[in-house]
Amino acid sequence: MSIEALAEKARAGARLNEAEALEMYLSAPTPLLGQLADQQRWKRHPDRAVTYIIDRNVNYTNVCVARCSFCAFYRPVGSPEGYVLGFDEIFAKIDETIALGGGQLLLQGGHNPDLPLEWYEDLFRAVKSRYPAFRLHALSPPEVLHLSRLAQTTVPDVVRRLVAAGLDSIPGGGAEILVDRVRKLLHCYSKASADEWIDVMRHAHRAGLRTTATMMYGSVETPAERIEHMGRLRALQDETAGFTAFIAWSYQPEHTLLQGVEATAVEYLRTLATARLFLDNFPNLQASWVTQGAKVGQLSLAYGANDMGSVMIEENVVRAAGAAYCMDEIEIVRNIEDAGFEARRRNMHYDVLGGPVFRERQVPRLLELAVARADGHRSVPAELINYPARSRAERDRRTRT
């Protein structure tokens, strides 16, 4: 089918198959892709609202046994640079988030063998006890899978226990590209295969949780594999309708084992626009300003995105790989309004909570994203002693201390 015929099909709102989406991605002129995506975006979101959330990406530990080759954030078990945040440190981050108008943590971390399922349950209960209305958007599918392996129980059981402890929703991290050929090349197949990632999300949706879905593109995959990834997501969404949003972000190569170069801005906009056309059952597409910067992040709103993502008070993972953009609420709202939209603050379920917080009360400006811990901070949380250590390194450390 010609590009013009495919464009007509997209304009008519007919569903594109994978081959058609790939053809559009590879061959449609960039402005045409943008226009088609923009039309679909307006059909789904006819008001002028662009949403955003105030939250914080807290990485509770950087110790990880997965060793993905694209990751610059993790430290191996026993590394002197490895850390685990204490409950009190996490409470302090929540206090700061609330002060800035936020109501949620995006809580993710490495696959740390010395943090058993009980640690997570205790943390979630402690958070909910102190902050009953605060939301926990936590633990990507590979982390859930890791916990099921550690606890030697099923994924549905892990999800059930975490929800009972206070889990509200699951972030779509760890998806990378949902094609096992790619996952093997990226050394993340053992962390979770494509089927396993999808399966965790299926169980989460069945348990009533809403989740997001991500795609880290631009590493070793082919364009066809990007579309295959989206196809896996679309199929599960047809089945469960549990995804709230899709977030594409470009692989960040700095300080990684894999190295290479970052995909360009035009590739990002084309990927986003193709996602808007192909993922016709996803209500929301986020702009990834944290990897693309404010300008291309804002331009995403013309290429299919209807959400500016998170104010993201803190971020550690993509920053470790070279992306160091920062936008506070004032900047995010400025960019939304400059593009001709109305800024609406939301929660993870995309319920609108209101307008910008900074217009209701004074909040401090954020000129750079916070980090998990200050450099040189090496303390080990006291409560860790309450949980059995599985790794030799951690057992040795406890013996020494």
Partner 1 sequence: MKEQIQEAAARITAGYRLTDEAIGALAETRDILTLGMLADEARRLRHGTDTTFVRVAEVRVPLDDGARLEIPAAAREVRISDRTDSLTTLIPHVRRVVAAADGVPVSAFSLEALEAQAAISGRRLADLLAALRDAGADLIAEAALDQLSHAEHALEQVRKAGLGLARLTVQHTAGTAERLEHIIRARALQQSLGWIESFAPLGRSWPPGAPSTGYEDVRQVALARLLVDNIASIQVDWGRYGPKLAQVALTVGADDVDGVSPVDDTGEGRRRSPLEDIRRNILAAGLVPVERDGARRRVMS
Identify which range of 15-23, 73-81, 261-269, 349-357 contacts partner 1 by CB under 8 A. Answer: 261-269
Is residue 23 a contact residue for partner 1 (CB under 8 A)?
Answer: no
Candidate ranges 26-34, 125-133, 169-177, 208-216; the one touching partner 1 (CB under 8 A): 26-34
CB of 103 to partner 1, least distance (A): 27
Q: How many residues bind partner 1 (CB under 8 A)?
A: 30
Which residues inside 282-311 make contact with partner 1, applying CB under 8 A? 292-299, 302
Q: Tell which one of 29, 78, 354, 364 touches partner 1 (CB under 8 A).
A: 29
Nearer to partner 1, 13 or 260 (CB): 260
Q: Does the footprint of partner 1 cover residue 31 (CB under 8 A)?
A: yes
Q: How far is the CB of 261 from partner 1 (least distance, A)?
A: 6
Judged by beta carbon, residue 59 or residue 335, the one nearer partner 1 is 335
330-369: contacts with partner 1 (CB under 8 A): 334-335, 338-340
35 binds partner 1 (CB under 8 A): yes
Burial 192-214 (b: 16+ CB within 10 A, else e): bbbebbbbbbbbbbebebbbbbb
Q: Which of the stretches 113-121, 198-206, 253-261, 378-386 binds partner 1 when contact is defined by CB under 8 A?
A: 253-261
Q: Which stretch binds partner 1 (CB under 8 A): 5-13, 30-38, 155-163, 227-235?
A: 30-38
Q: Whole-number minimum distance, CB 345 to partner 1, in Å? A: 20
For partner 1, which is the closer residue by CB, 34 or 141?
A: 34
Nearest approach in angstroms of CB 223 to partner 1 is 12
Contact positions vs partner 1 (CB under 8 A): 29-32, 34-35, 38, 259-261, 263-267, 269, 292-299, 302, 334-335, 338-340
